[in-house]
Amino acid sequence: MRSEQQMMGLIIETAERNPHIRAVAMNGSRVNPAAPKDIFQDYDIVYLVDTLEPFVSDHRWVERFGEQIMMQMPDQSELPLHEDMVKYMYLMQLADGNRIDLRLQRIDRWREYVDEDRLTVVLLDKDGILPQLAVPDDREYWVKRPTAEDFAGCCNEFWWVSTYIAKGLWRQELLYALDQLNRYVRPMLEQMLCWQAGSEHQFQINTGKSGKYLPHYLEQSTLVRLLATYPQADSEAIWQSVFVMMELFDERARLMAERLGYMYDDGEAQRVRAHMLHVYRLPVDTPQIYE
């Protein structure tokens, strides 16, 4: 695997040699002083260019970054070029383990880029047109204090979709039940736990994409319970994970309601938990197939 020094040297050298690349910037975890450093961090690079045409007309130029395992070009469907097209992305997983997320951005629209993200540093500015940027920090990714409406909506969604899980499990539709659990209910639990962690740190923490840093802010006993909500594809295992999930959510929602001074619909929670237990105890019949 090429080192950070080698990769950054290649990125800057490419820009210096190409007259159409007028500036280079980087954002993401590599410029975030609070992010853990490791070998899997992407290189989130932006080349600010005077024209997109010579780059997107022949994509072979990106081969200079190294052998690729694979590449995505999410903006490919917008080609051919049109006057409203101001950026183009290359997402490259390289064979040596490095990954580059490379964005081409028209230099005349530089402000749209630099205003997007406080986690931005300028690496090269051939024409001296980019402004002095603030010191990078991740405050725009901090856990936001919820409004009363945010809190109520989270609770309502958790309890409402939980009933879908029960229906799916009674019908022995495990894929459906797991989809409801992981796609809709789990994010509400994670949101509640993120709010709890944020409230304990003045809402000045970043729990990361998919809550990847959340375990750092949870008590070990809470983390054990959270991990217990990830079941195998087995009906009884899913039921038990749902019971853990409901207990954990109800407990932390009550805590956050008290801490934030919001109302928590205790009746809604109790009724849904009773309903879930009722469905769990119902005899399971073979689901009928309707034509």
Q: What is the CATH number of the domain that holds 259?
A: 1.20.120.330
- Averaged pLDDT, 236-256: 97
Q: Kindly report the pTM of this predicted structure.
A: 0.83
Q: How many CB atoms lie within 10 A of CB 10?
A: 17
254: three-class secondary structure by DSSP:
helix
Q: Residue 291's pLDDT is what?
A: 39
Q: Residue 253's pLDDT is what?
A: 98
Amino acid at the residue 30: R
- Total domain count, the chain: 2
Domain with residue 53: its CATH number is 3.30.460.10
Is 67 domain-assigned? yes
Is 34 domain-assigned? yes
Q: Residue 290's pLDDT is what?
A: 43
Range of the domain at 178: 142-281
- Averaged pLDDT, 101-125: 87
Domain stop point among 123, 140, 157 = 140
Report how far apart the first and last C-alpha atoms of the chain are (Å, whole number).
Answer: 56
Task: Please check the confidence at residue 110 and state whether its pLDDT lies above 90.
Answer: no
The dihedral region occupied by 199, where left means phi > 0, alpha psi between -120 and 50, and beta the remainder, is alpha
Same domain, 108 and 206: no
Mean pLDDT of the chain: 93
Domain stop point among 140, 159, 180 = 140
- Give residue-wise pLDDT tens across range 31-55: 888 888 889 999 999 999 999 999 9
Question: How deeply is 233 buried, as exposed, middle or buried, from its count of CB atoms within 10 A (0-12, 13-18, 19+)?
Answer: exposed
Same domain, 161 and 67: no
